[in-house]
Amino acid sequence: MKSAVIVFPGSNCDRDLAVAIEQASGTKPVMLWHRETELPAGIDFIAVPGGFSYGDYLRSGAMASRSPVMAAVKAAGTRGVAVLGICNGFQVLTESGLLPGALMRNAGIHFVCRDVALTVENSQSAFTSRYSAGERVVFPVAHHDGNFFADDATLDRLEGEGRVAFRYAESINGSARNIAGILNDSGNVLGMMPHPERASEAAHGNIDGARMFQGLVESLMATA
Amino acid sequence: MKARVFVTLKGGVLDPQGKAIHHALEGLGFSGVNDVRAGKLIELDLADGTSDADIDAMCSKLLANMVIENYRIEKLG
């Protein structure tokens, strides 16, 4: 499986994400600097990591989403390549238009950094196939701008089309309908605020996140 | 030429920053503040002759996120 982790100035979860991907797939992902304009040929999976790209200037993810590499990521995501954006990566994906809505300042203003319980809402996607629908998992979150916003029509469409992948078990940041992660209309792009890569090995004290990467590798190998 | 771009949150979009400022003003003893909305002011120093359409595109493509924000352009000579 050929994968890449995008690295922006200010990314800080890129190496953790690379470790989680390598553990699940057995192959090291290519670390791709934001100035690159092309993705490796035959790429199967692109991960957009958490962090504070461009210091969150203007809006979280705004500058990163307009960087050269994102034009290629957007094109790949549109033609069906699997794309996963975590935390700042989710913000980058909404800012780029690959996913609908926006991530705003947490309703309680505070930066939220703790383990949170989530409900898996959709277990049919390539990313969530190793979970069961309705299952409760715990992932860490660490964000200031995780308050998901979209208009009611968009929220209704996301719900109706089964595109809410994860929901917070209780409100932690004011997100509309407690949405923690969403899929695009084809199901090949997932954005989420919680960090599965920080719950991927025994030393983390929690391995709920490992199944996301294992399931994804399995799905991608099956279609390869 | 210079232009100022005012970026504001759309009506109905929760503004936690505005709420915190409101709360702090009340804490300082200022009564009678009904609501506070915080936004951004971006000043652009532009080549003479930059078209209105270009300034508008700068706003809609980057300076404002049209999902949650509105913008207003003020040209200063």
Q: What is the pTM of this model?
A: 0.95
Residues A13 and A87: their CA atoms lie apart, in Å, by 9
Active site residue A197: yes
Domain assignment of residue B12, given as a range: 2-76
CATH number of the domain to which A132 belongs: 3.40.50.880
CATH number of the domain to which B41 belongs: 3.30.1280.10
Tokens standing for residue A66:
């307009």
The one-digit pLDDT tens for each residue of chain A (224 residues) are 999 999 999 999 999 999 999 999 999 999 999 999 999 999 999 999 999 999 999 999 999 999 999 999 999 999 999 999 999 999 999 999 999 999 999 999 899 999 999 999 999 999 999 999 999 999 999 999 999 999 999 999 999 999 999 999 999 999 999 999 999 999 999 999 999 999 999 999 999 999 999 999 999 998 76
Residues B69 and A144: their CA atoms lie apart, in Å, by 18
Quote the number of domains for chain B: 1
Give whole-number Cα distances, A41 to A2, A45, A76, A213, in Å: 9, 11, 11, 21
Is B5 within 8 Å of chain A by CB?
no
Which helix (H) or strand (E) segment holds residue A91: the answer is helix A88-96
Domain assignment of residue A110, given as a range: 3-223
Contact B62 A101 (CB under 8 A): no
Q: Classify residue A40 by its DSSP letter.
A: P
Quote the number of domains for chain A: 1
Smallest CA–CA distance, residue B35 to chain A, in Å, is: 16
Residues of A within 8 A of B62 (CB-CB) are 58, 62, 66
Predicted complex ipTM exceeds 0.95? no
Residues A31 and A69: their CA atoms lie apart, in Å, by 12
Tokens standing for residue A70:
């994102």
